[in-house]
Structure 1
C-alpha cells in the first residue's frame, strides 16, 4: 500500500513538473514528463488530457485525439477530455467531429458560459462548411479564376506611392522597393500583386511534379524549410545568405503561408523572385499550400484583408501548380513531408503524379506533403492524423531504390532549426525561428556545394517584427481553442 501511494505521489510530482514545462513553452519536455507520469499511473485522465494539450501545441493532432480519447475512456464525465479532443479535431479541419465533442462539454457543464460560447462558434463553423459544400462547383465544371483576370485593365491611383512594375517585367529594383514597402507595412497595389501571381502561375504550371535541379561544380544551392508567414525572418535569411539570383539559387520547401501574419508579404516576395529569375527560386508545395489549411490557419483571412476575395481563389489555384518534390544533382531528394506507406516508389512515379488538385487524404501526394520520420524501424500511424510515420529502414530502401544519397524534408519545428536522423540519411530543416512567437526554436537553412554536396547547415535566431500576433487573421472560433 505504501509503495503504491509513493508511486502515485511521484506521478503527481512529474505531472506538476510537466505543467511547469508546458507553461514555459517547453512542449517536448512536457510530453516526456507526462509520459513518465502515465507510466507510473495510467488511470489518471488528467495526465492523458494534459499530454493531449502538449501534442496540440506541437501540431501533433492525431496523437492529441488518441490521448484525449484515452482520458474520456478513463473518465467519461471528464469535460477536458472532450474539450481537448474537440480542439484537436478543429485543428485538423474535422468540424463535425469537433462539434460532437463540444456538445458533450456543454452537456457535462451546462452552466459554463465558456463551453456555451465555444459550442456556438463550432456550430457556426459547421453550418458554414455545409453551406460551402452545398454551393461548391465540381473541379471539372470550375472556371479558372486566373483566366478571368486582366491586370492591365486595373488602374493605379495617382496617390499610390509604392513599388511599381513598369511594363511586363519584374525587375530587381522593383523587388527591392517592394521589400522596403513591406518592411514598413505598406501594401502592394493589387495590379502588381495580380501580375506577380499570374506570371508565377505560368512558370509553375509548366514544371513537372518532380523537378530536377542541377548545380554546376563549384556552385552552391540553398534549401530553406517552413517560413510560415514570418516575413521579417525571411528578410533575415536574405540578409545572412544573400538575395536569390542566378549565382545564389534557393529552394523554399513548402509551408510559406499560414500561422504567421505576414504570409501575403512572404508569398509575393517568393513569387516575385520566381518571376525575376526562375532558376534562382525553386518552390515546393507544403501541406499548408491548400484550401483546407488556409481556411483555418490565417492565410485566407489575411488575403481577404490585404488584397481581395478574388485573390483567395487565385492563390488556391496557383498552389495547385506547385511541384511536389525536387532532386538535386540526381542525389538529394527534397520534399516537404516525407516518404510512403509502400516500398518500391520510384522517382518516375512522383513525376507522373497529377498534382493539379487539392491534396487528397491518402496516397503518394498526401504522404509527400504530410509524413514524418520516426526513430524506430518500419512504419507507424501519423502523430498528425494524416500521412504516416516512417523509420530509417524505409528511408534507406527508398534511397537505394532510386540511387539517391539523402532525403531533406521540412514540416516539423526543431529546437536547433534542423535535425539529422536515420543514420545521417535524413535531415529536417525548419526556417521559422521562434515559431508562432512562442516556441523559442532557432531557424536553419542548408547550403549544398557541388560537386560533393556536403550539407552546410546555418542556424539563426528570430528577429523583431511589428506587433501583429501570429494567427491574427485566423477564423475567430479557432482563437478560442488555442
Structure 2
C-alpha cells in the first residue's frame, strides 16, 4: 500500500512556496521524512486507525506534495470512514500528479461508486484497461463495473415503467407455506407478541433464520405503520419517565442485544428511539432490522425508528444489506425492504424541545420544524435539499457552512446550530452518522450532540458505543458508553458489493 493528505501542520522546516506546491523543489531530507510518515501511516491503516493514518499521510504531503501515492493512500483511508468527497479529491490529485499511477484511478473509481456515480467510475476503469491491455485484474474490474452499470440502468428502466406499482402488490404472505421441518419462531395469528420477540432474539443469537413467511408478514404490517407516520414524529415523554436514544447500529446484532442487556428490554415503560443506519457494513443486518421492526410492531407508540443515509438503495447495494438479504432470502425480499425504508420518518421531536435526526442541519437559513414536517420522504433521497441534508450533513467547529468531505450535503457550524435552535425554540439537536471514539460527542456549546451505537465499528475502529438517556421532566442527556461484545466469526462487509471489495473500499 502507498500513502495520502488533509490538515495544516507546523513543521520546523518549511517547503518552498510555489503556485502549485507539488511543483516545489523537495530536498532529500524532506523526501526521507515524508517516506517515514507514509510508512507510519500505513501501519496505522493496517491496524484500522484510519483517522490517525490520514493525519500522517497529510504530514507526508506537507513535507513532499509531489508523490501521487501519498494522496492515493489518504484517499483509501477516507473511503474507510465514508468521506467520499475527500477520497475523490485526493484520488483526482494523485491522477493529476502521475497519470500513469493506476492506483489513483482505482481509488477514484471507488469514491465515484460510493457516491453512486457508476458512469464516472467506468471511465476510470476504461482508462486503466487501455493503459495495461493485458492485465487480467484491470479487465475483470472493468467487466464488473460494466455489469453493475447495466444492472442499475435496467432497474431504473423497470422502476420508471412501474413507478405506480409496489413490490407488495399481489403479495399474499398468509399463503406462504411453512415447511414441517421449520422449528423457529412463528407469529401467533399473524401478530408479533412478547413471546415471539423472545424466541426471535434467541433464534438469531443461535445464527438461525426467521422463515420467509414471517419476514413478509412483518414487512407488510410495518409498511402500514410507516405509511401513516409523518416525516417528523412528535414524541411525548412523561415526567420522571426514561427515554433512550441510540445511534447507528450498522448490522452489529450482538452489540444491539448488549444495548438491551445494559439498558433494559424495550417496553412501554422503557421506550427507545433508534436514529438510523440499522443496516450495512456489519454482517448481521437482517437480524438487526427484523428485531427493530418486531419491537416497533409490538410497541408502536413506545419504540421509534428514523431513516439514516444507509436506509437507501445505493448504500445498500454497495455496503452489504442487499447482498445479505439476497443470500439469506431473495431479491424480492430486498425490494420489500427498499419500499419500507422509503417510508421511515426522517426526524423525531421530543417534548417539543429536542430534535433528533440522523445527519444534521441545513444549508438554507431559517428552516423551520414545519419545513421538516413537509418533506416528501417516500423516495430515494435526492442529491440536494432538505431530505438530503437531514440524512447526510455533519457539524464542524468553524462558523458557517462548507461542502461536506463526504461529497454529499454540508458541514454546519455552531452559528448555524444556534440559529436553528433559536428559530424553532429547540433546546438542542441529537444526530448520529459519525463514529466517535467515546461513542458520543457534545459540540456547539451543548446544542449539537452526536450519538453512535456501533462499538468497534466494522470490527476495526476500536471505538466505544454510546446511548443517551433523558427524562420527561429533565431533558439533560445522560450518556452510557459500552464496548463491543464478541460475535460469530463472520467479518464485517462480508456481503458488500464484490466490486467495492475488489477496490478495497
Considering the TM-score relative to the shorter chain, is it more than 0.5? yes
Question: Do the aligned partners of 2:246 and 2:453 also contact (CA within 8 Å) in 1?
Answer: yes
Report what 1:178 is aligned to: 200
1:11 aligns with 2:34: yes
Distance, in Å, in 1 between the alignment partners of 2:362 and 2:356 is 14
How many residue pairs align between the two structures? 481
Report what 1:38 is aligned to: 61
Question: Do the aligned partners of 1:260 and 1:469 also contact (CA within 8 Å) in 2?
Answer: yes
Report what 1:58 is aligned to: 81
Query: Which one of 91, 99, 108 corresponds to residue 131 of structure 2?
Result: 108
Query: Which one of 306, 311, 334 corresponds to residue 328 of structure 2?
Result: 306
Report what 2:288 is aligned to: 266
Distance, in Å, in 2 between the alignment partners of 1:354 and 1:440 is 37
Report what 1:389 is aligned to: 411
1:161 aligns with 2:161: no
Query: Residues 112-171 of structure 1: CA distance to partner in whole angstroms, max 9, x if unpaired?
Result: 3322222222122122223323333356x4312224222222222222211111114311
Report what 2:229 is aligned to: 207
Question: Do the aligned partners of 2:467 and 2:480 also contact (CA within 8 Å) in 1?
Answer: yes
**RMSD over aligned Cα, in angstroms?**
1.7
Distance, in Å, in 1 between the alignment partners of 2:230 and 2:279 is 22
Deviation, 1:305, is 2.1
Query: Which one of 45, 48, 69 corresponds to residue 22 of structure 1?
Result: 45
Report what 2:90 is aligned to: 67
Distance, in Å, in 2 between the alignment partners of 1:11 and 1:207 is 55
Query: Which one of 316, 339, 345 corresponds to residue 294 of structure 1?
Result: 316
Distance, in Å, in 1 between the alignment partners of 2:377 and 2:349 is 17
Report what 2:494 is aligned to: 472
Partner SS for 1:148: coil
Report what 1:324 is aligned to: 346
1:95 aligns with 2:87: no
Report what 1:122 is aligned to: 145
Structure 2: gaps of 5 or more residues: 1-15, 17-24
Distance, in Å, in 1 between the alignment partners of 2:175 and 2:447 is 52
Question: Do the aligned partners of 2:26 and 2:64 also contact (CA within 8 Å) in 1?
Answer: no
Partner SS for 1:278: coil
Partner SS for 1:412: coil
Question: Do the aligned partners of 1:419 and 1:429 also contact (CA within 8 Å) in 2?
Answer: yes
- What is the TM-score of this pair, normalised by structure 2? 0.92
Report what 1:195 is aligned to: 217
Q: CA, structure 1 residues 450+160, in 2 after alignment: closer, same or farther (shift >3 Å)? A: same
Moved over 6 A (4+): none
Partner SS for 1:389: strand
Question: Do the aligned partners of 2:392 and 2:408 also contact (CA within 8 Å) in 1?
Answer: yes
Q: CA, structure 1 residues 412+3, in 2 after alignment: closer, same or farther (shift >3 Å)? A: closer
Question: Do the aligned partners of 1:93 and 1:296 also contact (CA within 8 Å) in 2?
Answer: no
Deviation, 1:455, is 0.8
Distance, in Å, in 1 between the alignment partners of 2:191 and 2:147 is 45
Partner SS for 2:377: coil
Structure 1: gaps of 5 or more residues: none
Question: Do the aligned partners of 2:184 and 2:211 also contact (CA within 8 Å) in 1?
Answer: yes
Distance, in Å, in 1 between the alignment partners of 2:160 and 2:127 is 34
Query: Which one of 211, 227, 232 corresponds to residue 254 of structure 2?
Result: 232
